[in-house]
Structure 1
Amino acid sequence: MPSPKSKNPVRGGGSPVLGSSNGRYDFMSLTKPLNRSSPPHQRQGSDPATARLRASESPTRRRGSSSSTGSGQGLPEEDGLRLNPSFIRVALSSLLAIDLWMSKTMGVCACEDSSWGSVRPLMKLIEISGHGIPWLAGTAYCLYKSDSATGQEVMLNLFMGLLLDLVLVTIVKAVVRRRRPAHNRMDMFATFSVDRFSFPSGHATRAAMCGRFLLAHLVLAAPLRFLVVLWAALVGLSRVLLGRHNVTDVMFGFWMGYVQYNLIEMLWLSPQTLQGLLGQLA
């Protein structure tokens, strides 16, 4: 006996008929009815696969996908910039680490119980020999006692160079504001507020400038010239051994003092020039 739910035959070799006598659809993939609220031109002759394909090709969807793709590509690039610092920054960080390590290793006279603590009094004596106050006082005394015009001219320019050194070192220390090494003991002779900063070493600048000045303007025998160079080197070395400065502080101080001497030669004052300047100010 034939079943009452017989399917409609296929017409002309085409696709099977979707509807049946009881209003149901034959294929399970097409069981969802069409949207009755959509416009007629969308209800006719369209299937869900075609609608999804057209929606995916819409301009809005393409713009959204392109923007999301662009943002996804930008994030790794930004992360790469943050995770790959510049070569200069890495080099400076490495040099700073080496500077701190060398300074701490060479600070063998930082306190009495250090490995070279017994040499600390000698290092402090060398420190005082490069201090600014003894140099200013000694130069002023020689300028006052000198009875020759040449001697007065030399001592006058040395005194002006010492004042220039104090001003320039104070300015650089106030700008850089680098702290002294952690193993340093603040028991220096006649310190001021700016002396709590480390860069550059004022003793090193003064030793380099005065050493060049004495070698250029005083007639000294070869042993004395060697002693001047040795004194300047020992002053710079004592700053590191005592833990007062880092190695780079002393190296920059030597370079700065060397340049300061060139500035003194450019601004050289004769007694006549100084008297003329004082007459104009008066």
Structure 2
Amino acid sequence: MPSPKARSGGAAGSSGRYEFMSLSRSPPPPALQRQGSDPTAARLRAADSPTRRRGSGSSTASTSSTGGQQLPEEDCMRLNPSILGIALSSLLAIDLWLSKRLGVCACEDSSWGSVRPLMKLVEVSGHGIPWLVGAAYCLYKSDSAAGQEVMLNLLMALVLDLVLVSIVKAVVRRRRPAHNRMDMFATFSVDRYSFPSGHATRAAMCARFLLAHLVLAAPLRVLVLLWAAFVGFSRVLLGRHNVTDVAFGFFMGYCQYNLVEALWLSPVTLQSMVGQLE
């Protein structure tokens, strides 16, 4: 009787070990049989394939760039800075640099520290309290109806200016320059904010108001314009505001006068309002 080794001798390898082939599968091609004889080389060839290299490289780059998490495309697009953002950041940097360079009267030790008392006098000339007191006094002392009408609307314009500037300052909340000294005359809670310059808005609005409703000679008209410009420029010299605060303040005050003209109170309108209140 033949031994089992003799019956399966063709299936035995050269090393004396037996190899069993599955009956449910067809035998692989000779090329794969040759590759299967060396499993380590097959794994290396699979790892070095171009598709494998491209896939592993892209996954490694995306994982390393996002800290192990893959971001969606819209989040990746937001990481790129926009041109508008770069322009605004550059404008802000120039504004801060120029404001610091022009703050030559910020303290007594500055390059123009000796001129600081004169700048503070100009600051008081553009303050809201002297203008409110002066407009109320002129309204009280005026004898003509036309003069009372002008002074009443000037008083209304000054109150409107205080309200609008306080609202914008409370919304924006921009701090004053770092080199500013808080020794201003009669400040309020919103005065710790810088944008916009209330002195600049008041100077621009009052200058337009006086030139439109008062009969002034040519030298006086030039003097009013120079006063408004000097009030705004003194805010930067004293270190109270940045350049953009004053520039926007001039623009805001110029536009406020248009609002005052639209809300102009005539004697007839005032009498009707008083009659309705009674």
Q: TM-score range by the shorter chain?
A: 0.7 to 0.9
The equivalent residue for 2:24 is 41
Tell me, yes or no, if the aligned pair for 2:174 and 2:195 is still in contact at 8 Å. Answer: yes
Q: Deviations over 1:49-82 (max 9, x none)?
A: 3999xxxxxxxxxxxx999898679777779746
The equivalent residue for 1:8 is none
Distance in structure 2 (CA, Å) of the matches to 1:35 and 1:244: 93
% same residue = 71
Tell me, yes or no, if the aligned pair for 2:200 and 2:232 is still in contact at 8 Å. Answer: yes
* Among 110, 114, 138, the residue aligned to 1:114: 110
Q: Is the aligned partner of 1:98 residue 2:94? A: yes
Distance in structure 2 (CA, Å) of the matches to 1:142 and 1:32: 121
Quick one: structure 1 residues 116 and 72, their matched pair in 2 at CA, closer, same or farther if it must change by over 3 Å?
same
The equivalent residue for 2:43 is none
Segments of structure 1 that go 5 or more residues without pairing to the other structure are 1-18, 53-64
The equivalent residue for 1:23 is 12
Tell me, yes or no, if the aligned pair for 2:135 and 2:151 is still in contact at 8 Å. Answer: yes
Segments of structure 2 that go 5 or more residues without pairing to the other structure are 1-7, 37-52, 66-72
Distance in structure 2 (CA, Å) of the matches to 1:268 and 1:32: 111
Q: Is the aligned partner of 1:175 residue 2:171? A: yes
Quick one: structure 1 residues 35 and 132, their matched pair in 2 at CA, closer, same or farther if it must change by over 3 Å?
farther
Q: Is the aligned partner of 1:198 residue 2:194? A: yes
Distance in structure 2 (CA, Å) of the matches to 1:80 and 1:139: 59
Q: Is the aligned partner of 1:273 residue 2:269? A: yes
Distance in structure 2 (CA, Å) of the matches to 1:251 and 1:165: 16
Quick one: structure 1 residues 22 and 249, their matched pair in 2 at CA, closer, same or farther if it must change by over 3 Å?
closer
TM-score by length of 2: 0.79
The equivalent residue for 2:68 is none
Q: Deviations over 1:217-261 (max 9, x none)?
A: 000000000000000000000000000000000000000000000
Matched letter for residue 89 of structure 1? G
Quick one: structure 1 residues 68 and 270, their matched pair in 2 at CA, closer, same or farther if it must change by over 3 Å?
farther
TM-score by length of 1: 0.78
Shift of 1:84: 3.0
Quick one: structure 1 residues 185 and 68, their matched pair in 2 at CA, closer, same or farther if it must change by over 3 Å?
same
Matched letter for residue 199 of structure 2? H
The equivalent residue for 1:11 is none
Distance in structure 2 (CA, Å) of the matches to 1:241 and 1:145: 37
Query: Which moved further from structure 2: 71-80 or 234-243?
Result: 71-80
Q: Is the aligned partner of 1:140 residue 2:148? A: no
Tell me, yes or no, if the aligned pair for 2:161 and 2:201 is still in contact at 8 Å. Answer: yes
Quick one: structure 1 residues 72 and 81, their matched pair in 2 at CA, closer, same or farther if it must change by over 3 Å?
farther
Distance in structure 2 (CA, Å) of the matches to 1:86 and 1:223: 49
Shift of 1:274: 1.4
* Among 118, 121, 140, the residue aligned to 1:125: 121
Quick one: structure 1 residues 22 and 148, their matched pair in 2 at CA, closer, same or farther if it must change by over 3 Å?
closer
> Which portions of structure 1, spanning 4 or more consecutive aligned residues, are displaced by more than 6 angstroms?
65-80
Distance in structure 2 (CA, Å) of the matches to 1:118 and 1:128: 18
Quick one: structure 1 residues 237 and 23, their matched pair in 2 at CA, closer, same or farther if it must change by over 3 Å?
same
Distance in structure 2 (CA, Å) of the matches to 1:22 and 1:234: 108
* Among 194, 219, 229, the residue aligned to 1:223: 219
Q: Deviations over 1:137-174 (max 9, x none)?
A: 00000001000011011111110000000000000000
Quick one: structure 1 residues 21 and 100, their matched pair in 2 at CA, closer, same or farther if it must change by over 3 Å?
same
Give RMSD over aligned pairs. Answer: 3.1
Quick one: structure 1 residues 137 and 66, their matched pair in 2 at CA, closer, same or farther if it must change by over 3 Å?
same
Quick one: structure 1 residues 78 and 280, their matched pair in 2 at CA, closer, same or farther if it must change by over 3 Å?
closer
Q: Deviations over 1:165-203 (max 9, x none)?
A: 000000000000000000000000000000000000000
Distance in structure 1 (CA, Å) of the matches to 2:195 and 2:18: 82
* Among 223, 229, 239, the residue aligned to 1:233: 229
The equivalent residue for 1:55 is none
Q: Is the aligned partner of 1:89 residue 2:85? A: yes
